Chain A
Amino acid sequence: MLSGSWAGSLLARASERSEDPLLAGRPLVHYPEKAGLILLTSRPPQLETPMRYFDRAITPNEAFFVRYHIFPIPTSVDLATWRLKVTGAVEHPLELSMDDLRGKFAPASVVAVNQCSGNGRGHFAPRVFGGQWSNGAMGNAEWTGVRMQDILKMAGLKAGAVEVTFNGLDEPAAPTVPDFVKSLGVERIMKDPDVLVAHKMNGEALPMLNGFPARLVVPGWYSTYWVKNLFEITVLERAFDGFWMKTAYRIPDTPCGCVEPGTQPARTVPINKMNVRSFIASPADGATVRAGRVTLLKGIAFDEGSGIRKVEVSTNGGHGWQPAELGRDLGRYSFREWSARWTPAKAGRYQLLVRAVSNRGESQATEPLWNPGGYLRNVIEHVEVRAV
């Protein structure tokens, strides 16, 4: 099953130098259809994107991060036999082929950020159990497919329908392991034309590891809802209480979704909207720049879907801030590129920071928030560089 010219041998060579101690010892690996990604775990796979890809709004498919919860994961799908089933509290249960998705529905697209709920968890202090990501568990792409609400309209919702569950082809290793199934409210889907069943990512079929042949796209919400390798959609007349909704992926029921470090929340709710974040992609952490010469700082910013109002950078550890220039607006759910020109006055070490404010007025803090699940990280980010 080897395709093209890709044939590997076990080779080790230096590819990226990172100052992030969290990433020490994590190899850069080539998984199927993927460029070199940072290996967090093999089975089920979790692969993160090197930060250098975040100097531009669109993350190429081959660089997009990968995360699965259970194993086995699907490794072979034949469109001739794959069907997307829609059952439960509907008037007309459906079995849609890829040809049906492409031919029987109006096409829809959205450029949207897909970010793991635990992106940055490895940087929590005190640390917490879970996927020990650095900041590369995120990406932005143009997703193309069918509006979920159009699929529900074709199926015809029964009067008592309240929630919809989404099940992918990944399977539990044993019957006791909860299958990875997520749910959304019917009301949210029917009001939000941007919730898609996507079969294209940046104009191409989805990589297997990012959800071939189709995945759910839930713009503005963390990617736990973006179920991959979809095959089963079930409409329910009661709230879904599966493990991955009722027990996992819950955040403190507080305005910040946070609690005092090291404590437990009194009440929790399912994780939902993303908070505002911004990153410096260039220069890289640990890079060397030229004193007295202009260096272009670049990166991205994003939020839950109100869009980015402004980005500011500091080149002196946060004592002074100046505005960055915003790049082209690809839509309110997309990464927004930003850039700023900086001339280091003299040789030495500099700490560069970036912060964003969203259109709805949300901003970032100097101190990170904390919760026991390691979710919602959005502290002001920085890189350290040396001018010579």
Chain B
Amino acid sequence: MMKRGIIWLIAVGLAASALAAGKKSIMLPPDNAMATLKDGPGVKVARANCVACHSTDYIVRQPPSSLEQWTAEVNKMRKVFGAPVNDADAKVIAAYLESAYGEPGKVAPAKRPSK
């Protein structure tokens, strides 16, 4: 049972390493299966375009953001990193991200020491 505030230990069976005679080899575990994208309109377009370069936790761990902020982030992927996303798909993806991971117009309060 997942409880907020408790970090669970997940032993990843595929993680391993070997060192023999000056050669080191490791096997990386698969992408975090618990960080999948939330369902919603456009999620399939997002999945099709985003996971080629990075796992979905790069998306789901981001702060809740507005449509403007998500649009800028999608455009950064296209312009800076060369993600081959056309204009139509970029709009769909940004709208999906705002609907699934959005908090339009809100600024997170700072965690301040006690008064």
Contacts and interface: CB of A to CB of B under 8 A. Distances in A.
B113 A10 contact: no
A262 B53 contact: no
B46 to A, nearest CB: 16
B86 interface: no
B24 to A, nearest CB: 5
A71 B24 contact: no
Interface size class of A (residues with CB under 8 A): 35 or more
B16 A368 contact: no
A21 interface: yes
Contacts, number: 193
A132 B65 CA distance: 14
B82 A177 contact: yes
Given A33-B17, A129-B63, 13 more contacts: A1-B25, A8-B12, A23-B7, A25-B4, A25-B34, A27-B8, A27-B9, A27-B10, A31-B29, A41-B54, A44-B54, A73-B28, A205-B24
Q: Which 6 A-B pairs have the closest CB atoms?
A: A176-B82, A8-B11, A79-B22, A127-B63, A32-B26, A125-B110
Interface in A103-143: 123, 125-129, 132
Contact of A18 (B5, B23, B31, B34): B5
A24 B15 contact: no
A7 B13 contact: yes
Interface string A42-83: 111100001000000000000000000001010111111000
Nearest to B58: A41
A144 B69 CA distance: 43
Interface centre among B9, B26, B55, B58 (most CB of A within 10 A): B26
A33 B8 contact: no
Given A44-B54, A132-B62, A32 B16 contact: yes
A175 B53 CA distance: 12
A351 B31 CA distance: 37
A84 B108 CA distance: 46
A3 B54 contact: no
Contacts of A77: 23-24
A50 B92 CA distance: 38
Contacts of B113: 317-318, 351, 353, 366, 380, 382
Contact of B80 (A15, A127, A243): A243
A40 interface: yes
B16 A1 contact: yes
A24 B8 CA distance: 10
B89 interface: no
Nearest to B23: A78
B57 interface: yes
